[in-house]
Amino acid sequence: MKKYIIFAFAALTLAVSCVDLDRNPLSEGSSENWFSSEQEVTLALNALYNPSLWRSECTRFFNTDRWTDDWNQRTQLYDWLGGTISSDWSQGATDWGNHYKGVARANTILYSLDKAKDVLSPEKMAQYAGEAKFFRACFYTYLITLFGDVPYYTDYITLEEAYEMGRIDREVVLQGIYQDFDDAIAALPVSYTGTQRVTKGAAMAMKARAALYMNDWATCAAAAKACMDLGVYSLHPDFREFFLSSTKTSPELIFALPASNTLGIHSYDEAATRSFYPRNNGGTSVAQPSWDLFFAFPCTDGKMPWESPLYSHADPFANRDPRLAETIVPFGSEFLDYIYNPRVDATQTLQVSTGQMVKNNDSKAGSKDCSYNGFVLKKFIDEEWIDDRLTDMPMRIMRYGDVLLMYAEAKMEMNQIDQSVFDALNALRARAYKCGINETSKYPAITEANQTKLRRIIRNERRIELAWENRRWFDLIRWRVCEEALTMPCYGVPANATRKANEKTPYWFFPEGFKPRMTESSIIDLSDLQNYPDYYVINVQKAFVPREYLFPIPINERTICPKLTQNPGY
């Protein structure tokens, strides 16, 4: 038997030590005696849905959002955001290893599938091959997005071949990714009866995302349009409801990794869930939506807060895009049985179910560790998070709203701005306002046809529609605006004497004269706060460095395979 291996380079030494690769125990499943039945094939494919292989999406709650201007986490500054990562960075090494593990599993299935040809119809053989190719394409998409040029292989390789393999131009890898997605699109069904697996629409949508990450606008627009034209997806009628744990299926959901508390498959653990809901409910409010994100939501007239006569710092949640109140808990509103009130002088708050005033742990007066910037997350969070501190919300990787945004952006970048672009964008706005797309008197429809101005609108629309869905970081990377977006401070609320004096005015949270603004790159700039030091503190100062547009090639991989070159700056 020829000695073949799969590709996670750091595992090579393990693959050849203490084992005889020619041995094939008949009592254990392996690529030599597996794949002899449909059940074995589907079990192998099921392993590709394992969240550990989808680290960029499922490592932890809101994984990549932690590195963006949408996020505030007390005084925590993550290493990537602090500009301190190097070739021995553990997360980069794990991302590399797990994505290649996914590639290897997909390759094993494709290499071995022929063993089941006597028990599977040609249509089933093609479908299962298409499913494996879908996953391989997804894992390679993450690899070229995170690392740039990477080793690329679609079969088993020998030890000698592995040691000699270097990095392949990511444009070449991208063509292989497109081919895998095309094969999956041709072979996969539009839908299933019963158990849900990846579909034709998922392959179209993920192909569009791969093209989006590489700024391949023509491919992105075509793939997104193909998904739209299937006619099987639509926006969930209620924005908030879509993100709740109870919403397991929806016509908007295109691809997700399932979870089930009943089966002991939780989306995230107790420590993770507690970080995001209020202290009055037993949470810790460790991480919060940023002030930058707050000001990205326009007013109900479609204008940004600093442009609109409808906005006032005295009531900053009023007259705003409805998605704001579904993303960040508005001051004075009921949330999880308590009135949320972060005012420094609010020592007590109302518990709605009892009608009693109780200690307000979500104010500096009640707890010094309450939300550092005064905001708490509302999107995703419901009572399920607080009963046993476990949640089994689907780990949503692709939804139809993102497809509409990808299509609109790609068409705009090609300067093919037509009614289909406006329809895609306005479908999302109309959903937010709970009205029909043609009811333009009920929401601020987008009609801007100037490419430069529409680019700013679309980038901001992606930000507010997809907030805390692991999309913002990838957008900042591909737009090449991290030097601007990720070198500004994260602000918080102080509890000092001057702050307490502010409580007696209508402008207790933001000062009356404060003027945020938006840059040409659609980045929110809050630097005017420097004129009001008594209203805020700087929790952290972000420090992105340009080399981090690509992760470093892990040092262990380069030690084993010297032909792997390093990315610049590491």
Per residue in 335-378, pLDDT (tens digit) is: 999 999 999 889 999 999 999 999 999 998 899 899 999 999 99
DSSP designation for 320: B
pLDDT at 193 over 90: no
- % of the chain surpassing 70 pLDDT: 91
Please give the C-alpha separations between residue 258 and each of 136, 162, 397, 434, 551, in angstroms, as whole numbers. Answer: 19, 34, 11, 28, 29
How many whole angstroms separate alpha carbon 545 and alpha carbon 547?
Answer: 6
Query: For residues 401 and 252, is the Cβ–Cβ distance under 8 A?
Result: yes
Say which residues have a Cβ less than 8 Å from residue 149's Cβ, sequence separation at least 6.
Answer: 167, 168, 169, 170, 173
Q: Using the predicted structure, report yes or no on whether residue 1 has a pLDDT greater than 60.
A: no
Average pLDDT over residues 216-234: 98
For residue 247 the two structure tokens come to: 């919403």
Structure tokens that stand for 15 in this block: 């693959």
Range 463-483 average pLDDT: 97
Model confidence at 453, pLDDT cuts 50, 70, 90, reads: very high
**Do the beta carbons of residue 227 and residue 206 sit within 8 Å?**
no
DSSP 292: H
Cα 266 to Cα 61, 242, 570, distances in angstroms: 12, 18, 37
Q: Which of 119, 100, 24 is nearest to 557 (CA)?
A: 100
* Weakest mean pLDDT among 6-10, 213-217, 245-249, 279-283: 6-10
Question: Comparing 81-90, 260-269, 399-408, 518-527, which segment has the lowest mean pLDDT?
Answer: 260-269
Name the residue type at position 475. Answer: D
What sign results for the dihedral spanned by CA atoms 545, 551, 557, 563? negative
**What gap in Å lies between CA 492 and CA 538, rounded to an integer?**
6
Position with higher pLDDT, 417 vs 534? 417
Q: From CA 261, how far away is CA 288, in angstroms rounded?
A: 26
Task: Give phi and psi for 189, each to the nearest 5.
Answer: -75, 160
Q: How confident is the model at residue 59 (pLDDT cuts 50, 70, 90)?
A: confident
Place of tokens 């606008």: 217
Alpha helices (H) along 214-275: 217-229, 239-242, 270-274
Q: From CA 343, how far away is CA 503, in angstroms rounded? A: 7
Whether residue 108 has pLDDT greater than 60: yes
Percentage of the chain beyond pLDDT 90 is 76
Indicate if the pLDDT at residue 214 is higher than 60.
yes
Read off the pLDDT band of 265 (50, 70, 90).
low
Are 476 and 486 within 8 A, CB to CB?
Answer: yes
Q: Give me the mean pLDDT over the 28-39 stretch.
A: 71
> Length of the chain in residues, anyone?
570
CA angle at residue 410 from 406 to 416, to 5 degrees?
A: 135
| 463 in Cβ contact with 519 (< 8 Å) | no
Bigger pLDDT: 467 or 22?
A: 467
For residues 246-267, average pLDDT: 82
Average pLDDT over all residues of the chain: 90
Pairwise CA distance, residues 405 & 462, whole Å? 7
Instruction: Determine which of 119-128, 160-169, 511-520, 540-549 has the lowest per-residue pLDDT on average.
Output: 160-169
| 23 pLDDT tier (thresholds 50, 70, 90) | very low
Closest CA to 463 of 519, 531, 542, 539: 519
Region 491-506: mean pLDDT is 77
Is residue 389's pLDDT more than 80? Answer: no
Say what the pLDDT of residue 223 is.
Answer: 98
Instruction: In whole angstroms, give the CA distance from residue 2 to residue 21.
Output: 9
Contact 104, 6 (CB under 8 A): yes
